[in-house]
Every structure is written in structure tokens, then in C-alpha cells.
Amino acid sequence: MTNEDIDIAFEKILKSVSDIDMALPASFIGDDDKLLVDEQKKMLAVFARYISEGHPGFASCDAKNITFSEDVKNKFKLEFLKLYLTSEKECSVLDMGKKLFKFTKKYLPDNHFNVFSNQGTPIGMLLNKEEHLLFQKELADYLQNETIDASQRGIIEHLYAERNQVGKNLCDDSEIEGLKCNGVDILDDKKGQTWRMTKIKNKGQDIMMIGMKRFAAIDENGKLSEDLIRDYIALVKEFSKQEYDECDALILDLRGNGGGWPYIGDYMARTLYGNTVSTEPKGHLKLDTTAAKLSYAYMEQDDYDNYESKKDRLRLIKENQNTQYSERDGAWTDKYPFNSELGYKKPILVLTDQNTGSNAEVTIGRLREHPYMRTIGDHSCGVVQYHPAATPKASIPLPFGLKIAVPPQGFTGPNGERLEGIGYQPDYPVCKGGNALLVGLERIDEIKQDILQNLPPENNIKTECKREVNIDEVTEMNLKYIGKNNSSLRNCFNELVDITSTIPQLKTPEHQIDKSKLMIEEKILDEIKHKIIDK
């Protein structure tokens, strides 16, 4: 079968699905209920249309690092046709879910896509031990294929390979105990619910360490937490004191950090650069299809489960205003955003592991152009889609059961690099069983030499430090859904936004001049004092 034949057959299946089919109300039937052949094919056809029209990886636009390669697209279509044309006479909803899960994990190189049961459970969690082992072997065999797309390979390796453990986040007390056992002196230790700031003395050097285990203000029940937002405010206030400026190095621990809101990472990046830096990676959106609009509508509707009729489901499409394709500019307006007058000019070590994902990876991207920054640990997760698409709440019901999550928005790193499924490779890899923090402290002098030997020419950029337009868009989006019926929660969120809107201006030349003037004035006063006393 030629690629042309595959395209024709695939398009024919997509055309069998109408907008009404896409907007059908959810069928909350049991996982063990049987699907007839026609029902299986209808479910698969809707599934294919959502992916091919609503996922940025299939967008027919100039988004080279978002759009999947033609090889990936062809494999996806061919394997889908096999799945579609070999429908069984009867198949349970759960068995169909398992087929879709295995299919997408092999042929869809995107960590943010997911398949759920009607109850919102990820299908991957419903595989029994035997099924799991067979799937692992299937993935291992597939990895031998040398033509696998890099991001596709990353997804499979993430599922198949045992995760490299390089220590726990600094927030875990065991890390502090480990430091003490290795002869590290703890000078100061401040701890919140989601963060920790610890000052240590190691090899005669004072080092400030900041651990952040999450950026999301969601509690264990999946609800926005005012308590957690206040915890972030406390972290920002501590960071804004810039106590790290008095130290010989700064360590940011993002191990195990699955991401969340952009405010803290953005604020830290701008403070360390001493300059305004864009907060978003390069983004490509394709929102001009029914599938993409529905995907956004499901993410943005708090009460979408109340839409019972086809008419109301279609109204979701009309209510969504994002109806055009757009492409955002790259994150860096200047290739060298570091301000040598105001920026932090000492080693910055960022600790990462395979659970460092989403906005924690975006934070790494923000800091990549900082000349004093290096990463150490394991490669990050490769989950950078900036939307909560891979969650049960935002999932889309398929006809006759199951749900899928489709991320209709795609991002690359600040310089256009593809990250989904790949992640960031560390500058200093740490082997399994090692501890990135301890290794970093052991090699701190070597890393410092590496930084000093590779510093670019100084570039004194003088720009006003303020929040960029893109972050304001994110803020507006968050404000739509935060504190609708809770003014206290909304006010708390506004406080977080306000406190991270500008970086602390504690190192400006003006302050330095004022300080020197003050020293001169104190000297004159001291001389006058002595003259008066002597007299």
C-alpha cells in the first residue's frame, strides 16, 4: 500500500464523522459492556478525527518542531487503518481502551495525549501484570527500529526504560540528612509546603540551595488551594531577599517537579538575568477545526458534563473564541538577554531528573541562555505542552464510552528546539544510584571553571524589568477560572501575580552609587565627630 493509498483511506474514514458525531453527549456505559463492529468503528473514527484535526502534531503549517514528521504521520495512519479494519465482532469498552492506549503510546509521540476510562482512570493503570509485561516486550522490540522519530523514541523509552534515580528533591528531609552525613555544614534552613531554601558551607564555599517540588496550587483533591498560593508567595518573598547573592553559588533543585503555574520560575529567571526575558517558549496553535475548538471548550468549561444534548455540545464550539491559527514569536527578543550589570554572576546549578516536566522544563528553558547556568542530573521528562490537556477533567468523551485528552496547543523550547518526548539533556549527567546534589557539590569547582572558560563577551543591556505580554495572557486565562465564587482565593492569586510582576531592583547602579555616597558621608561625619571629641 502506497502512502497515497493510505491517505485516501484515512481521509475517507475521517469524512464518515460529522460535527454532530464529534459533539455527541458522553455515553457512560460500563467498561465491560460490549461494542459491536459499527460502534467500534464509529468510536475509532471520532478518535482519529480528534487527533488528526485537533492535535498540533498533525497541523499542516510551518511549525517544523511541533508538526510530526511525515514518517510518523504515515506510520500512525497505516497502523490506525489496521486497527480500524480488523475490528472484532464484539469488544468490551475496556479492551478497546487498552488497544487505543497501546496504539497511541507507540505511534503518537506526545506525552500529553492520554486515554481514560469513563471514570477518568488512565487506561495504562488498568493493564494487569501480564498485559503490562507483554506491552513492555512489544515496546522493547519496537525500539530496535532505527527509523523511529527522536521524539517517538523518547516517549517509548520513557515508558519502557527504568527511570534513572538521581536523588530526591531538596524538600525531602532525607536530602538534608545526606548532606550532613557527607560533612556539609547547614548554615540556615527555611522550609515551606512546596519549597525549601537551605544555606550550606561546602569546601569553604557558602552555597544557597532552593528546592521546589511543584509549581501547581492544586491540593490532593484537585482543588485550587489558597494555602498553597500563600506558600508560593512566601517562597517569592524569601527569594526576593536575594540572600543567594552573598553566596558563592546557587543550586535550584527541580527534581521531581512536574510543573504548574509559570509565575515562580519566570520571576526567578528574570531576577537572575537582571533583565526582562520572555516567559513563553515558541508556540504554534491551530484552532480552526471543530476538533480543536471542542478540545479547548472541554478544557475551559467548568460544567461541561451538564451539556446533555447535541445542540448544547455544538454550542461549546460556537462559544469558544479561539478560531484561528496563530504563531507566537520566539522567547528571546535578544540572543543574549543576560544583563552583566544586574544579573547574577556566579554558578547556577539546576538539578533535573526524569520527573522534571511541564513548567519545570519551561523554567529550564528560560534559564538556558544564562551564561552561568548548568544542568546536572538526568534528562527531563519531555512534557512541555502548556495546557492541562492530559487530565481526566479536560478529557473528551468518545461515542459509546472512553475518553481522550488532546492537547490542541504545542510548544517548543525558547530557541525552537523540539522537547515533547525528548526533554532537556543535562550538561553533567549523573548515573543511576548517584545523587545529583552531592555530585554537583563534589564537582562545583570543575563546573565553575567550565562556566568561566565559556563566558561570552559582556553585554550590558538596560531594559525595564516588567512582566511580558505572554505571561499577562496566561494570567488573564487563570483569572477567568480562579476565585469565581471565592473572593479570598482570587485576592490571594492577585497577590502572587503582583509580587512576581517586577524583579527586585536591589543591585541597580543607582543603588550602588547611593551606597558609595553614603559611605563618603559617613566618613565625613566620622571625621567631624573626631574633631569635636578631640576639641
Who has greater pLDDT, 390 or 395? Answer: 395
pLDDT at site 329: 45
Rounded Cα–Cα distance for residues 429 and 434 (Å): 10
The radius of gyration of the chain from alpha carbons, rounded to an integer in Å, stands at 26
List, in order, residues 6 or more apart from 437 with CB less than 8 Å away.
167, 170, 175, 178, 179, 209, 251, 253, 351
| pLDDT tens for each residue of 119-161 | 889 999 999 999 999 999 999 899 888 788 888 888 888 777 7
Confidence of residue 261 (pLDDT cuts 50, 70, 90): confident
| pLDDT tens for each residue of 193-212 | 999 999 999 999 999 999 99
| Nearest-5° Cα angle at 365, 360 to 369 | 140
| pLDDT tens for each residue of 88-120 | 889 999 999 999 999 999 998 888 888 999 888
- Give the other-Cβ count within 10 Å of 60's Cβ: 8
Percent helix, strand, coil in the chain, to 5, is 45, 15, 45
Which residue in this structure is represented by grid cell 517540588?
213
The answer to whether 473 touches 435, Cβ cutoff 8 Å, is no
pLDDT at site 475: 80
pLDDT at site 388: 60
Rounded Cα–Cα distance for residues 51 and 406 (Å): 7
pLDDT at site 287: 55
Rounded Cα–Cα distance for residues 387 and 317 (Å): 18
The answer to whether 113 touches 104, Cβ cutoff 8 Å, is yes
Who has greater pLDDT, 250 or 509? Answer: 250
DSSP string, 102-158: HHHHHH---TT-EEE-TTS-BGGGG--HHHHHHHHHHHHHHTT-TT--HHHHHHHHH
Rounded Cα–Cα distance for residues 390 and 518 (Å): 56
| pLDDT tens for each residue of 391-415 | 777 788 898 889 998 887 777 777 7
pLDDT at site 336: 61
pLDDT at site 279: 53
pLDDT at site 512: 41
pLDDT at site 439: 97
| pLDDT tens for each residue of 457-498 | 776 666 666 676 667 767 877 777 777 778 899 999 999 999
pLDDT at site 326: 46
pLDDT at site 476: 77
Stretch among 167-181, 317-331, 370-384 having the lowest mean pLDDT: 317-331
> The pTM is what?
0.82
